[in-house]
């Protein structure tokens, strides 16, 4: 149980385009999902907390107009990187909070974004 | 604010040898502590977690961790390492009343290499 999927697993796009990444909880409902960014050989940095039906809460220094987060249902959150630039290239990982199972975050497999 | 320190960036052990990965945390209240493992290009898999109760926690894949409040530590151990254990290991502390469901702060990770 507690499986989280992400799509796509890899994406390459041109500078200036927008990219949407999906995060789904497959076998449970997640009222809260989290988006992280991970640079090579570094730890995970929380970008934002996404609550179903409400606006996301962004961490300090994260541009909310650049990283659009939508959590329209209890099983789906999306991260859209708008007007992507090469410096946005990174590994993006989502997690979903599981209530009633020790209140733990379960992570998706990640999405590798490369902006040319 | 909470913080996590993983003092060892890289550790190399021989297959069959015992393993201990160190983790020290800083948090003003009772911490919620986690160990995750990440294989290259993959998301994070939960190994074990501590919320309360018995300070020795058993996890998956034969791992265990011991919470020591006096030392602010939550070290991960395994009595006999397998080659498949080679990966990046992250310690994390959760904040808030519902620890794991709120923000996780990750350590910088420890890269484990297993020599055959």
Residues A28-38 have pLDDT tens digits of 888 889 999 99
Instruction: Mean pLDDT check: name the lowest of A66-70, B27-31, B102-106.
Output: B27-31
Contact call for residues B44 and B24 (beta carbons, < 8 A): no
In DSSP terms, A25 is beta-bridged to A4
% of chain A surpassing 70 pLDDT: 95
Residue A42 contacts B, CB cutoff 8 Å: yes
CB atoms within 10 A of CB B20: 13
**pLDDT (average), residues B65-82:** 96
Residue A35 contacts B, CB cutoff 8 Å: no
Res. B100 pLDDT band, cuts 50 70 90: very low
User: Using the beta-carbon criterion (under 8 Å), do A44 and B45 form an inter-chain contact?
Assistant: no
| Residue B101 scores a pLDDT above 70 | no
Query: Residue A110: which of B42, B90, B105 has the nearest Cβ?
Result: B42
Q: Where are the beta strands (DSSP E) in chain A?
A: 4-7, 10-13, 19-25, 32-38, 44-51, 57-58, 67-73, 76-81, 90-98, 104-107, 111-115
Residue A1 contacts B, CB cutoff 8 Å: no
Query: Residue B100: which of A4, A43, A103 has the nearest Cβ?
Result: A103
| Residue B96 scores a pLDDT above 60 | no
Residue B59 contacts A, CB cutoff 8 Å: no
Q: Give dist(CA B116, CA B87) in Å, integer.
A: 15
């Amino acid at each position: 149980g507690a499986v989280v999927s992400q799509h796509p697993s890899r994406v390459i796009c041109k500078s200036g385009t927008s990219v949407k990444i999906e995060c789904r909880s497959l076998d449970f409902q997640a009222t809260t999902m989290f988006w992280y960014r991970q640079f090579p050989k570094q730890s995970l940095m929380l970008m934002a907390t996404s609550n179903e039906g409400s606006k996301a809460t962004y961490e300090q220094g994260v541009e909310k107009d650049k990283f659009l987060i939508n959590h329209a249902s209890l099983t789906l959150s999306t991260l859209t990187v708008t007007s992507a630039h090469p410096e946005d290239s990174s590994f993006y990982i989502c997690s979903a909070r599981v209530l009633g199972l020790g209140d733990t975050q379960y992570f998706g497999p990640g999405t590798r974004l490369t902006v040319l | 604010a909470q913080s996590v320190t993983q003092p060892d960036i890289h550790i190399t052990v021989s297959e069959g040898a015992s393993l201990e990965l160190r983790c020290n945390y800083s948090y003003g209240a009772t911490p919620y502590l986690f160990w995750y493992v990440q294989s290259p290009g993959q998301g994070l898999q939960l190994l074990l977690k501590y919320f309360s109760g018995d300070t020795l926690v058993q996890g998956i894949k034969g791992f265990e961790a011991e919470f020591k409040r006096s030392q602010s530590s939550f070290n991960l151990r395994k009595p006999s390492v397998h080659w498949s254990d080679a990966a990046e290991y992250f310690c994390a502390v959760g904040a808030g009343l519902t620890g794991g469901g709120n923000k996780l702060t990750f350590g910088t990770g420890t890269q484990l290499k297993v020599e055959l």
